[in-house]
Amino acid sequence: MRVDVVAVGTELLLGQIVDTNSSWIGEQLAAHGFDSLLQIKVGDNLGRVESALRRSLADADAVIVCGGLGPTHDDLTREAIAAVMGVQLEIHDDVADRIREMFTARGRYMAENNLRQAMVPVGATVIAQTRGTAPGLICPVRIDGVDKVLYAVPGVPHEMKEMLERAILADLHRRSGEVAVIASRTLRTWGESESGLNERLDPIIAELETLGNPTLAFLASGWEGLKVRLTAKAATAQAAALVLDEWSARVHAVVGQHVFGFDDDTMESVVLQMLRERGLTLALAESVTGGLVAARLTGIAGASDVLRGSIVSYASEVKFDLLDVTRGPVVSESAATEMALGARRVLGGTLGMALTGVAGPTEQDGAPVGTLCIAVVIGDEVHTTTARLPGQREQMRQMSVITALDYLRRILPTANV
- Binding of its own copies at residue 312 (CB under 8 A)? yes
Tell me which residues in 64-103 interact with its own copies (CB under 8 A): 70-74, 103
Tell me which residues in 17-46 interact with its own copies (CB under 8 A): 17-20, 22-28, 30, 36-45
For residues 88 and 82, the answer to whether their CB atoms sit within 8 Å is yes
| DSSP element (H, E) containing 111 | none
Min dist. Cβ of residue 246 to its own copies (A)? 21
Closest alpha carbon to 349 in 321, 376, 385, 322: 376
Where do runs of H (alpha helix) occur along 77-212?
A: 77-85, 93-105, 157-163, 169-176, 194-211
Min dist. Cβ of residue 123 to its own copies (A)? 26
| Contacting residue, 253, 315, 381, 417, with its own copies by CB under 8 A | 315
- Binding of its own copies at residue 325 (CB under 8 A)? no
Tell me which residues in 234-263 interact with its own copies (CB under 8 A): none
| Contacting residue, 176, 257, 334, 392, with its own copies by CB under 8 A | 392
Farthest-apart Cα atoms in the chain, separation: 83
Which lies closer to its own copies via its Cβ, residue 273 or residue 392?
392
CB count within 10 Å of CB 171 equals 15
Which lies closer to its own copies via its Cβ, residue 124 or residue 228?
228
Tell whether omega for the bond before 368 is within 30 degrees of 0, i.e. cis: no
Tell me which residues in 152-211 interact with its own copies (CB under 8 A): 155-158, 184, 193-196, 198-199, 205
Min dist. Cβ of residue 34 to its own copies (A)? 11
Distance CA 83, CA 77 (A): 10
Which lies closer to its own copies via its Cβ, residue 106 or residue 174?
106
Nearest 5°: CA angle at 247, between 242 and 253?
A: 130
- Binding of its own copies at residue 278 (CB under 8 A)? no
| Contacting residue, 138, 254, 270, 295, with its own copies by CB under 8 A | 295
Burial 196-223 (b: 16+ CB within 10 A, else e): ebeebbeebeeebeeeeebbbeeeeeeb
- Binding of its own copies at residue 14 (CB under 8 A)? yes
What x/- string results for residues 344 through 383 when contact with its own copies is judged by CB under 8 A?
A: --xxx-----------xx--------x-------------
